[in-house]
Amino acid sequence: MKKLKMNYRNDKTFKEGFEEYILNCRSRNLREGTIKHYIESYKQIIKYFDESILLSDINKKTFEEFIIKIEKNKDVSSQTLYTYCRDLKTIINFFINQEYTAAFKIVLPKVDKHPIETYSDEELDKLLKKPNLKKCDFCEYRNYVITAFFLSTGIRLTSLINIKIKDLKLNEECVDIMHTKNRKALTIPLNNQIIKIIKEYLNYRQYSNTEDYLFCNIYGKQLTKSALTQALGGYNKSKGIKHTGIHRLRHTFAKKWILAGNSVVSLRKILGHSSLEMTQNYINILVSDLKKDVDNYNILQEFNNTFIKINNKKK
């Protein structure tokens, strides 16, 4: 007797299914930035994926054909390809859970790993040189403090601009990060140097109450992501540093943490990674830097007096 199977046939198209997916994202109260990301990603995906295809017709073959079409575009990097495929996988999995699409295994393409961009010690010396408070304006001083804060905590840009003064727990030597990627509050320890810098900064911040944001524009209002990115870009260039980027600050923090021999598990918590595997990627990509340290410290050279000398003379 023939067994009955689920019939996934329906008249919904990929476009209609995506609209339902976005509605689901909003119902789950995902951050607006996350929803915007999927909307922008969808616009790129449908350049290679037929948005009129029925959800019931999506299968392993259609996903693989999507990859092949993108790979033909030499201007698309492996990281961009991976991002599009990852987002499409998330969307398709939603269709599978809704039983619009038959379940199938989705394998993401591999990404070409490139070295993580970090600041050199020489560049850090320039960035962390305290400005002359008698001559600099508030924005330059604020940018110095923000740079020091990034390098001391390694937090994300959106987390930093949402820190309120009440979130500081300076007596407990930590700060509460209420705005995170996964919406889970995070408490990050603060070292003595950044605590000292923050205490001095608060004297110039001129806040009215603890509900005010820690880092603000010249009018005391919350900084936007674009404004902060532009401000730090200008700050770096004023120090004679050509290569800028907030991710570079975060990567530099992670690099210094790892090279100092600190716990990877602790680093994962501080960076707010969802898995240890994500944190491990930092270590894998930083292998070249670790190799330099290994060369500088060779345990065999330290104990070379114990080596046995081999006599090659013939008897």
Q: Are residues 91 and 125 in the same domain?
A: no
User: pLDDT, tens digit, for every residue of 244-281?
Assistant: 888 888 888 888 877 777 767 777 777 766 666 666 66
Query: What confidence tens digit (pLDDT) does each residue in 298-313 have?
Result: 545 555 544 444 455 4
Q: Which of 48-57, 153-162, 197-206 has the lowest mean pLDDT?
A: 153-162
d(CA 86, CA 47): 16
Q: Is residue 275 part of a domain?
A: yes
Residue 262 located in a structural domain: yes
Lowest mean pLDDT segment, chosen from 13-22, 77-86, 159-168, 264-273: 264-273
pLDDT digits (tens, 9 = 90+) for 43-100: 999 999 999 999 999 999 999 999 999 999 888 888 899 999 999 999 999 999 999 9
Percent residues over pLDDT 90 in the chain:
55
Q: How far apart are CA 246 and CA 160, in angstroms?
A: 11
Could you tell me if 67 and 145 lie in one domain? no
Tally the domains of the chain.
Answer: 2
In a domain, 216, yes or no: yes
pLDDT for 297 beyond 60 = no
Same domain, 27 and 152: no
Higher pLDDT: 32 or 46? It is: 46
Residues 206 and 82 in one domain: no
The answer to whether residue 3 sits within a structural domain is: no
Q: What is the largest CA-CA distance in the chain?
A: 91
| 281 in the same domain as 169 | yes
**What is the domain-level CATH number for residue 49?**
1.10.150
Which of 153, 145, 131 is CA-nearest to residue 249? 153
For the ranges 57-66, 151-160, 224-233, which has the lowest average pLDDT?
Answer: 151-160
Is residue 7, in this structure, part of any structural domain at all?
no
Tell me: do 136 and 271 sit in the same domain: yes
Q: Is the pLDDT of residue 293 over 70?
A: no
pLDDT at 310: 45
Q: What is the pLDDT of residue 308?
A: 44
Based on the domain organization, do 139 and 56 belong to the same domain?
Answer: no
299 falls within a domain = no
CB 119 within 8 A of CB 127: yes
82 part of a folded domain: yes
Q: Is 99 left (phi over 0), alpha (psi -120 to 50) or beta?
A: left
Q: What residues make up the domain containing 145?
A: 121-290
Q: Where does the pLDDT of residue 185 fall: very low under 50, low under 70, confident under 90, or very high at 90 and above? A: confident
The domain that holds 279 is classified in CATH as 1.10.443.10
